[in-house]
Amino acid sequence: MPKRPTQKREVDKRKTSKALRKLRRVAERASEEGGPGLTTWEKDFVEGVSGRLEKYGSAFRDPSKGRLEEALSDRQTHIVRVIDKKARKPAKKAETADDKTRQPNSTFAQRKPMKASGKASSKPKWTPRVRDINDDPVRAQPATPDTPERRRIHLKVVPGGKTTGRGR
């Protein structure tokens, strides 16, 4: 198997430190009390990427994975964003006695009650807006001649027009 050509990359130290800070902040936020916690895969990801950032200044080598001047590849950046989004979700509140009686995922308490329908209603019963073509009166179409009327086009000469110089 041929070796890949080694390409010396210069990644800005500020970008490397920014990526490291972001990665550590996301991991801390996710693993703090009340947070969702990190899965084993996410822990391994954070450890591996932070180790590569500290050692090499970049967490990826293949130029097709992302911009060479960045410290993280496109996919690694996406995964950090997903973990951050997961860590920022608010924790669920404790159940109350009222919540136990309510159906799960019910929004009944949040909505207005529906109006009672019945004979006491002053509105007429709803009927669909449909038209029957048999009920429409047939309108008599005016008789059109088979050949259209031809109008004669009248042309007239406008005095004072521009002369082209021809024919004179």
Enter the pTM of the model. Answer: 0.49
Q: What are 35-57's pLDDT values in tens digits?
A: 888 899 999 999 999 999 999 88
CA 58 – CA 11 distance, rounded (Å) = 7
Helix (H) or strand (E) holding 5: none
For residues 53 and 15, is the Cβ–Cβ distance under 8 A?
A: no
For the chain, give the percent of residues with pLDDT over 90: 27
Q: What are 102-146's pLDDT values in tens digits?
A: 555 655 556 666 666 555 556 778 888 888 777 766 665 666 656
165 backbone φψ class: left, alpha, beta (φ>0; ψ -120 to 50): left
Domain residue limits, the chain: 13-88
For residues 57 and 13, is the Cβ–Cβ distance under 8 A?
A: yes
Sequence-distant (≥ 6) Cβ neighbours of residue 112 within 8 angstroms: none
Amino acid 81: pLDDT: 94
Amino acid 19: pLDDT: 93
